Amino acid sequence: MLDPVAWNGKRGWEVNPLSCRSMTLRSPTKSNRRQGEVTTQGQDQAGREREERWARQEEAAASATRDIADVPSVEVITTAAVHLMSAAAVKVGLAHDPDAETDLDEARKLINALAGLITAGAPEISDMHARSLRDGLRSLQLAFREASVIPDPIGKGPGEKWTGPVN
């Protein structure tokens, strides 16, 4: 056990060993140099340049990001819908390589999520935004129907629970 006098100059009877308020425990400083290693000015210069480059990158990233509090809700809803729409289009086979990227099971899930988001968010966003999202959703639903080997009955396709039948 450490000598209480070494903690803060008080005698043992003046120190409460259970109280950490009166003592400051510090770990010894450690060097980041390996024993026997000699640093040269070139290594120090490279380290400074690397730290400066990291600082510039952090600064650029901080200036490029937007605070979520500054983004309007219409933009958040629309951006989420566009992401879902893009992913669903790829999974339906409307991308560059339809043979490798088509996955109708995944497309069904994405179209259902998109239909739910558009249906629930339409009253909150303006008609101008909702109309274009509905058009994109309808196009995806029709593309899904065309890509299916066994088409779903009318009214039972992906998203039709929320949007109604798509012909």
Q: What DSSP line would sit under 78-128, residue for residue?
A: HHHHHHHHHHHHHHHT-SS-HHHH--HHHHHHHHHHHHHHHHHHTTTS-HH
Placement of tokens 């339409």 in the chain: 122
Residue 159, in any domain of the structure: yes
Residue 5, in any domain of the structure: no
What is the C-alpha to C-alpha distance for residues 121 and 87, in angstroms, rounded to an integer?
19
Predicted confidence at residue 22, as pLDDT, reads 47
Residue 17, in any domain of the structure: no
Residue 49, in any domain of the structure: no
Q: Encode the chain (167 residues) as per-residue pLDDT tens digits.
A: 555 455 555 555 555 555 555 445 555 566 555 665 555 566 688 888 899 999 988 888 777 666 777 889 999 999 999 999 999 999 999 988 888 899 999 999 999 999 999 999 999 999 888 999 999 999 999 999 999 999 899 899 999 999 999 98
Q: In which domain, by residue range, is 135 found?
A: 69-163
Residue 43, in any domain of the structure: no
Predicted confidence at residue 119, as pLDDT, reads 95
pTM: 0.61
Predicted confidence at residue 34, as pLDDT, reads 60
Residue 61, in any domain of the structure: no
Residue 95, in any domain of the structure: yes
The half-sphere exposure of 78 on its side-chain side, counting CA atoms within 13 A, is: 15
The domain tally of the chain equals 1
Residue from 4, 33, 28 nearest 17 by CA: 4
Predicted confidence at residue 75, as pLDDT, reads 92
